[in-house]
Amino acid sequence: MKNTLTLLLLILMISCKSEKKPTPNFKVEYKGALRNMMKKGDVSAKETLAIFKDKKHIYALGAIENLKGEIQIFDNNPFLTQVIDSALSFDYSLTKKATLLVYASVKKWKKITIPNTISTYKELEKYIAKTAKENQIKINEPFPFLLEGAPKSFDWHVINWKDGDTQHSHKKHINSGLHGTLINRKATFLGFYSDAHHAIFTHHTTNMHIHFLTDDKKIAGHVDGLILDKNMILKLPAVE
Torsion of CA 144, 150, 151, 155, to 10 degrees: 80
Q: Is residue 16 part of a domain?
A: no
**Distance spanning both ends of the chain, measured CA to CA:** 43
- Please give the Cα distance from 110 to 237 (Å, whole number): 6
Q: Count the domains in the chain.
A: 1
Q: Is residue 40 part of a domain?
A: yes
Q: Is residue 106 part of a domain?
A: yes
Please give the residue range of the domain that contains residue 143.
29-237
- Please give the Cα distance from 163 to 65 (Å, whole number): 11
- Please give the Cα distance from 144 to 113 (Å, whole number): 17
pLDDT band at residue 20 using 50, 70 and 90 as cut-offs? low
- Please give the Cα distance from 188 to 219 (Å, whole number): 11
- Please give the Cα distance from 79 to 15 (Å, whole number): 47
Cα 10 to its chain centre, rounded Å, is 43
Q: Is residue 22 part of a domain?
A: no
- Please give the Cα distance from 194 to 208 (Å, whole number): 7
pLDDT at 25: 87
- Please give the Cα distance from 131 to 16 (Å, whole number): 25
Mean pLDDT in the chain?
92
pLDDT band at residue 23 using 50, 70 and 90 as cut-offs? confident
Whether the CB-CB separation of 170 and 179 falls below 8 Å is answered with no
pLDDT at 72: 98
Q: Is residue 20 part of a domain?
A: no
pLDDT at 13: 57
3-state secondary structure of 68: coil
Q: Is residue 87 part of a domain?
A: yes
Q: Is residue 212 part of a domain?
A: yes
Q: Which residues of 6-130 form beta strands (DSSP E)?
A: 29-31, 47-48, 58-64, 70-74, 77-78, 80-84, 87-91, 97-105, 109-113
Note if the pTM is more than 0.85.
Answer: yes
Q: Is residue 166 part of a domain?
A: yes
Neighbour tally for 126: CB within 10 Å = 12
Tell me the backbone φ, ψ of residue 228, rounded to 5 degrees. -75, 160
pLDDT at 12: 54
> What CATH number has the domain bearing residue 222?
3.30.1330.80
pLDDT at 211: 98
Inform me whether the pLDDT recorded for 19 exceeds 60: no
Inform me whether the pLDDT recorded for 83 exceeds 80: yes
pLDDT at 204: 85
